[in-house]
Amino acid sequence: MGCLALRQGPSTRTRLEGAVKPMTKVCSMREVIAEFVPDGASVAMGLQMEQMIPFAAGHEIIRQKKRALTLIGPISDILFDQLIGAGCVEKVIAAWVGNVMMGSAYNFRRAVEQDGLKVFNMSNFTIALALQAGAMGVPFLPTKSALGSDTAKGNHFFYQIFSPFAPKESLWAVRALNPDVTIVHVQRADAEGNAHCWGNFGVMIEGVRAAKRVILTAEEVVDAEVIASDPNRTVIPGFLVNAVVECPFGAHPSPVQGYYSRDNEFFREYHEQTKTKAESDVWLERWVYGVSDRREYLDQVGADRIDALSVKQHAYAAQADFGY
């Protein structure tokens, strides 16, 4: 089944066919991005913070020259900077945009300082609340964070309210966010998109529940029985997922617990190699436009580097008995 068959959305198909025979949502990255990330879309990414950032999906967005996107995320460890540098982005709704290990990200700085990129400043907690409100189907959630902060001023995600139960108690109502598409990278999923993920989740679960469409990229696509064997680890149920892309090393240079470590040198090099617009263009040409897909990207990373990042000492969790 090709990607185009998914057009009517996952829930319909799951209800019609899911009980009878497992459906596959497995597509190529090219198909998925073409299908589910139209120009002007709001896209949530990097929701697991510095782990499992869907760089492969982000690079395909850049290659397909998507435009006028709104990026949503708590922090963004250089992926947002790359999308901004490539001219894909109109707005950013985020708590932090930069290079976590090195500091500022230069494309973001240039875009805000010189080109007037629109940024809605959030904090980590308030972006989590915005997505959670979206996930719960309520227009807002209240918080005591950011009271008195300039972060909330002139920002339409914040509105001052008072508790209906304690009238003098001041709160921010944080407006709900429902991304057009949420893209997450996980360790393993089955062909329907039931996904196992372990490690830190950040705001992934809220971001998936809030989204109108979900793209899942996974290190491995495995048999449904593997996923079903440990339902507590199934943090994303397949019926919320529109498409699954098997993409080994799809989060490089960010880490995936149990699969590969963080490529610290890559983040350092990015910092050094993107200080000007011209340098950034060279970087994008080399690592994104100049490769046709993730396989070619990994060829360029090189086997030695990949090997150096691989797991050196496995640390398996104890088994959980679901028997009765």
Residues at the contact surface with another protein, assessed by CB under 8 A: 48-51, 74-75, 77, 94-105, 108-109, 112-113, 119, 121-126, 128-129, 132, 143-151, 169-171, 198-206, 254-255, 257, 261-262, 264, 267, 315
The residue (of 154 and 323) whose beta carbon lies closer to another protein is: 154
Smallest distance from another protein to CB 290, Å = 27
Q: Count CB neighbours of 86 within 10 A.
A: 22
The b-or-e profile of 278-303 (16+ CB within 10 A means b, else e) is: eebeebbeebbeebeebeebbeebee
Between 14 and 107, whose beta carbon lies closer to another protein?
Answer: 107
Least Å distance, CB 100 to another protein, is 5
Give the span between the Cα atoms of 172 and 157, in whole angstroms: 9
Could you give the CA distance from residue 276 to residue 5 in angstroms, rounded to a whole number?
43
CB closer to another protein out of 63 and 196: 196
C-beta of 149 vs 234, nearer to another protein: 149
Q: Rg of the chain's alpha carbons, rounded to an integer?
A: 20
Which CB atom, from 8 or from 114, has the smaller least distance to another protein? 114
Q: How far is the CB of 137 from another protein (least distance, A)?
A: 16
Compute CA 250 distance to the chain's CA centroid, rounded to the nearest angstrom: 12
Output the smallest distance, CB 42 to another protein, in A.
Answer: 18
Compare residues 112 and 222 and give the one whose CB is closer to another protein. Answer: 112
Quote the least distance from Cβ 35 to another protein, whole Å: 29
The number of CA neighbours under 13 Å toward the Cβ of 271 is: 13
The rounded distance, in Å, linking the Cα atoms of 170 and 146 is 11
Smallest gap from residue 301 Cβ to another protein (A): 18
Contacts of the segment 147-155: beta carbons below 8 A, 24+ positions apart: 147/171, 147/172, 149/123, 151/121, 151/122, 151/123, 151/126, 155/120, 155/121, 155/122
Structure tokens, 198: 């372990």
